[in-house]
Amino acid sequence: MGVNLIDHYVFNPFEELELESNTRLVIYDNEEEKFAFIKELAPKEKATVPLTSLQEHLNYKYKYQVKSENKWIDYGKYKKLLPESKTDKGIKYLFYKSEGSDQLVVVFQAINQNPSYNYIKTLKDLPINKLFIKDDYGDDAATRSSYYLGKNKSFDISEATQELITSFVNNLQIKKENVIFAGSSKGGFASLYHGYKFGCGHILSGGPQILLGDYLGHQSEKSIRPPILKYLAGENTPESKEWANKLMVENLKNAKKPYPQTVIHIGVGEPHYEEHVVPFLDMAKKLQINNVSLDAQEYNTHEELAIYFPKFFRTKMEQLVKKIEIAR
């Protein structure tokens, strides 16, 4: 697979915002709290900013300005500057290299009506290589979710995702036991599914969906889920639900030892505990996968995952980075 790391940013406000007058590009360094780049652009002019001209932290934001009464005024709010790259198979990702680290954390995103990367800020200053993978490959209008699997039972997204991760592991010469898969909700499913498929060392999963057929086949007046099931299975039928429900257990059956050290974070009162986490624990027990543990917290809704999981995730990551550093 071709892994194409970007070496520059291109800014085109006249195409992006359909502006016709002179525009000013402003890039701000969040770490040093100062402006890093300011350039006035003539109509239809683009700005190219080499990655080498920016600091390694890549913690920047940018905005555009237009002139009004001889003063530059903001045209919209600041946006985070993301070093997004894409493989030749269309998988979008962010990669942040940490010099001297022999670990890699791979983070999958949750369902979002504006698909984006999760937990960048949570891991921002942690000395570990970071790979964030986007999911906007589905064809449902609301979320474009593929669950990192593929259309019509094809698993093309799954295969391309595995290839991307393998490319980075090989290029960085990282041992599989030093690779950590993580995510919450949809990302929680993906971290488990791809973690066991890849054979990583650790999985940190928050409030995962496990029985995808039951979850995505849930019918309600305004549910965004059934179109995702139709994308994955080709149709939305009882047979489709049964197929989707078996995805995780079939994946676990094909997993090879040593199994990943897996921790699942969950609120004991939220529905995902009984409907998804308990079934996963049963699957693991039947298959004699004995290194799965729970981080069970006292909260009752899936929405509260956004409050509790980042704290859990950060703490566990600090422990894993320290543990592996000590073991060197």
pLDDT of residue 172 exceeding 70: yes
Helices (H), the chain: 13-16, 120-123, 156-172, 186-198, 212-216, 226-233, 238-245, 247-254, 271-272, 278-286, 305-327
With respect to CATH, is domain 84-327 assigned 3.20.20.80? no
Instruction: Choose among 84, 67, 66, 83: nearest CA to 75.
Output: 66
Residue type, 214: D
Q: Is the pLDDT of residue 111 over 70?
A: yes
Q: What is the secondary structure of 40-77 as a DSSP string?
A: EE-TT--EEEEGGGS-TT--EEEEEEEEETTEEEEEEE
pLDDT average, residue stretch 144-163: 97
pLDDT of residue 3: 54
Q: What is the pTM of this model?
A: 0.84
Q: Which residue has the tokens 């030093």?
A: 178
324 confidence band (pLDDT: 50, 70, 90): low
Q: Is the pLDDT of residue 52 over 90?
A: no
- Cβ atoms < 10 Å from Cβ of 186: 26
User: If pLDDT is split at 50, 70 and 90, which confidence band does 223 have?
Assistant: confident
The C-alpha angle 114, 98, 84, rounded to 5 degrees, equals 30
Instruction: Give the whole-angstrom CA distance, residue 218 versus residue 229.
Output: 10
Q: What is the pLDDT of residue 83?
A: 79
Structure tokens at 266: 């969950």
pLDDT at res. 58? 76
- Is the pLDDT at 4 greater than 80? The verdict is no
Scanning the structure block, which residue is given the tokens 């919209």? 76
